[in-house]
Structure 1
Amino acid sequence: MTQSLTITRPDDWHLHLRDGAMLQTVLPETARHFARAIIMPNLVPPVVNSADAAAYRTRIMAALPADLTFEPLMTLYLTEDTDPEDVAAAHASGLITSVKLYPAGATTNSSSGVRDFDKVRPVLEKMAEIGCPLCVHGEVTDRDIDIFDREAVFIDRVLDPIRRSIPGLRVVMEHITTKNGADYVLANDKDLGATITVQHLIFDRNDMLVGGMRPHYYCLPILKRREHREALRAAAFSGDKRFFLGTDSAPHPTHAKEAECCAAGCFTAPNALSILAQTFEEGGALDKLEGFTSLHGPAFYGLPVNTDTITLTKGDAEVAFPETLPAGDHTVTVFDPGFPLYWRVA
């Protein structure tokens, strides 16, 4: 028996497209399903000003196949040298949608991130004034803080003080991974939202570590205990408009993932919607899928909801996805959830 679900075409509010040959490979995987995406700026070198953002957007659009429609929502990489007026002009022109905060050293290509938060206060104050959202990688990077505690400590030490001192700053807590993160959003109903990834809804740290290290499940922020996964599922399934999809789909060459010191990131773009439909169905929340993927994000960012739709169908046959895709001289491995998928985008 076939089931069918038609929803407003989704958006992805946290996406890595990379550049060059990798961009050519991964962009169509997102554009087939998603109308828009917040594009991460952590290239090498990073996208730090309006000229960088304009050039990167041009490269993205040049890589888009002619038969697909997609709008990249550009971001600037916040540094201690970011010019508030450049941010304001880029936002006013529609070139950028948000600014991204990486604490220095928090994740892939984040060495140019912020170390002294007082140095970026003028930028954050300008962003609050003009209504430009701040997308936050919410982890401290102190060597003495356990990697599983870094999100909770960031909320207490960095995020909450910033929000209290700069009223009106709109903040997206990207890829929350803990009950602490979900609870903080639930306790603050103004100017605060959060994205949740596919992998953090379906896995906990046991899935990554028990029986051997699974490098394709390794991402940052890292997978946490099951109690945290359950809190994220409850948030996503609740229909609360403060929670929305940000896949954080993050491709790396297969050899960089399957390495002694593996790269952090899960390439989920090809099968994200199939996994989500199955996960929401299993959680008795299939009626909340459209809100999570298609409605809550535009509401937070003040953007119109997409006018077109997609249809998901569920059949008896398992849906097959390629194990890898060619990317220049390398391959990129498609995320495998480890269980059969039966929902597909029609």
Structure 2
Amino acid sequence: MTQSLTIRRPDDWHLHLRDGAMLQGVLPETARHFGRAIIMPNLVPPVVTGADAAAYRDRIMAALPEGMDFTPLMTLYLTEDTNADDLAAAHASGLITAVKLYPAGATTNSASGVKNFDKVRPVLERMAEIGCPLCVHGEVVDAEIDIFDREAVFIDRVLDPIRRATPGLRVVMEHITTADGVAYVQANDRDLGATITTHHLIINRNHILVGGIKPHYYCLPVAKRESHRQALVQAATSGDARFFLGTDSAPHIDALKEHACGCAGCFTATNTMSCLAEVFEAANALDKLEAFTSLNGPAFYGLPANDATITLTKGDPVTYPAKLETGAGPVTVFDPGFPLHWRVA
């Protein structure tokens, strides 16, 4: 049995770092293991211009502890007022790596997102011309659509029409949660990839609701049926280069999670690699872990894989802190619900 595994240093292709005291508290948890991360722009106010992205990048680097090596890959928040020239200049300079599409109201701090998709078509066409990827939060927000059906409806109503109308646009379906999402990616060979989170590989909707509401398992997109979780595991462990890790690690202080209207998000930065090793080992696919965490994402974004490596070793169960204490308040670390025997050496 494998007791040690050395892989290229992983990257996180979907990460929330927040700002201020929370940024300072959570950044080291990612930088400890991950070389790069796509940084979400849904701050208040959001990161909508190149100047915003440069200022946010500077704050991230100022918060990085001395001796840690980490590269934030910045994104812009797509709005109906996004300036295509500013976007193109930010991308050409290397300041931004991608642009994020939030349907208005879909998730945390998404009020500034897109309501009328026709208004952003010129920007999307410019992005296709310059090769700037679009990262998509793939859910409709129509009140009449069941929350468990939002992803599948988004694919049919929004994503597929956008891709057909904008040939050459590179799209990342972020945090897919359904067999429908997996099947759509598998049916499209060109210009389409998908991230899968750590927590969606582990929990289904029963974990949130059975035996009492578990607010620290509540996320958006919400976890689905067990059959969908199994489809995600099969995709992640397949070696298919279109699927790669985006943790969507999303810190909220406990007071806002354990609340009458609790925030959505699972904080997985601390123990993601241990969790993933367990998932991949259970699927007899430890040999595919490197592709999912370290190779497929860079290939999609046209970046080199990290030169550095990390080694995971298997032994007695690892004990992670239940909470991360930050200057903003305590943040509960994701509990997979089973022992973690793999650790980063």
TM-score (norm 2): 0.99
Counterpart position of 1:334: 333
Confirm or deny that 1:127 pairs with 2:127. Answer: yes
Give the residue type in structure 2 aligned to 1:9. R
Q: CA deviation at 1:163?
A: 0.2
Q: CA deviation at 1:2?
A: 8.0
**Unaligned stretches of 5+ in structure 2?**
none
Q: Any residues of structure 2 matched to 1:1-346 within 5 Å, and which?
A: 3-315=3-315, 317-346=316-345
Q: Distance in 2 between matches of 1:322 and 1:240?
A: 33
Which segment drifts farther, 170-179 or 256-265?
256-265
Q: Secondary structure at the match of 1:125?
A: helix
Q: Distance in 2 between matches of 1:318 and 1:231?
A: 27
Q: CA deviation at 1:52?
A: 0.2
Stretches of 4+ aligned residues off by more than 6 angstroms: none
Q: Distance in 2 between matches of 1:29 and 1:130?
A: 33
Q: Secondary structure at the match of 2:121?
A: helix
Q: Distance in 2 between matches of 1:218 and 1:330?
A: 19
Q: Secondary structure at the match of 2:38?
A: strand
Q: CA deviation at 1:171?
A: 0.1
Q: Secondary structure at the match of 1:135?
A: strand
Q: Secondary structure at the match of 1:221?
A: coil
Q: CA deviation at 1:241?
A: 0.1
Q: Distance in 1 between matches of 2:176 and 2:7?
A: 25
- Deviation string, structure 1 residues 113-157 (Cα, Å, up to 9, x no partner): 000000001110000000000000000000000000000000000
Give the residue type in structure 2 aligned to 1:3. Q
Give the residue type in structure 2 aligned to 1:251. P
Give the residue type in structure 1 aligned to 2:55. A
Q: Distance in 2 between matches of 1:261 and 1:151?
A: 22
Q: Distance in 1 between matches of 2:106 and 2:223?
A: 15
Q: Distance in 2 between matches of 1:318 and 1:310?
A: 19
Q: Distance in 2 between matches of 1:115 and 1:186?
A: 28
Q: CA deviation at 1:261?
A: 1.2
Give the residue type in structure 1 aligned to 2:139. E
- Deviation string, structure 1 residues 201-235 (Cα, Å, up to 9, x no partner): 11110111111110000000000001111111110
Q: Secondary structure at the match of 1:293?
A: helix
Give the residue type in structure 2 aligned to 1:303. L
Q: Distance in 2 between matches of 1:229 and 1:333?
A: 23
Give the residue type in structure 1 aligned to 2:340. L
- Deviation string, structure 1 residues 222-264 (Cα, Å, up to 9, x no partner): 0000111111111011100000000000000011111111100
Question: Number of residue pairs matched?
Answer: 345
Q: Distance in 1 between matches of 2:234 and 2:336?
A: 20
Q: Distance in 2 between matches of 1:78 and 1:2?
A: 44
Q: Secondary structure at the match of 1:38?
A: strand
- Deviation string, structure 1 residues 282-303 (Cα, Å, up to 9, x no partner): 1100000000000000000000
Q: CA deviation at 1:172?
A: 0.1
**Unaligned stretches of 5+ in structure 1?**
none
Judging changes above 3 Å, is the alpha-carbon distance between structure 1 residues 221 and 329 closer, same or farther for their aligned structure 2 residues? Answer: closer
- Deviation string, structure 1 residues 23-50 (Cα, Å, up to 9, x no partner): 0000000000000000000000000000
Q: Secondary structure at the match of 1:44?
A: coil
Give the residue type in structure 2 aligned to 1:311. T
Q: Distance in 2 between matches of 1:329 and 1:164?
A: 44
Give the residue type in structure 2 aligned to 1:321. Y
Do 2:14 and 2:37's aligned partners in 1 also have CA atoms closer than 8 Å? yes
Q: Distance in 2 between matches of 1:203 and 1:336?
A: 10
Q: Distance in 2 between matches of 1:324 and 1:303?
A: 34
Q: CA deviation at 1:325?
A: 1.6
Q: CA deviation at 1:104?
A: 0.1
Q: CA RMSD in A?
A: 0.8
> Percent identity among equivalent residues?
76
Q: Secondary structure at the match of 1:195?
A: strand
Q: Secondary structure at the match of 1:87?
A: helix
Give the residue type in structure 2 aligned to 1:13. W
Which segment drifts farther, 331-340 or 111-120?
331-340
Do 2:50 and 2:95's aligned partners in 1 also have CA atoms closer than 8 Å? yes
Which segment drifts farther, 28-37 or 334-343?
334-343
Q: Distance in 1 between matches of 2:52 and 2:226?
A: 40
Give the residue type in structure 2 aligned to 1:187. A
Q: Distance in 2 between matches of 1:293 and 1:268?
A: 14
Q: CA deviation at 1:338?
A: 1.3
Q: CA deviation at 1:324?
A: 1.1
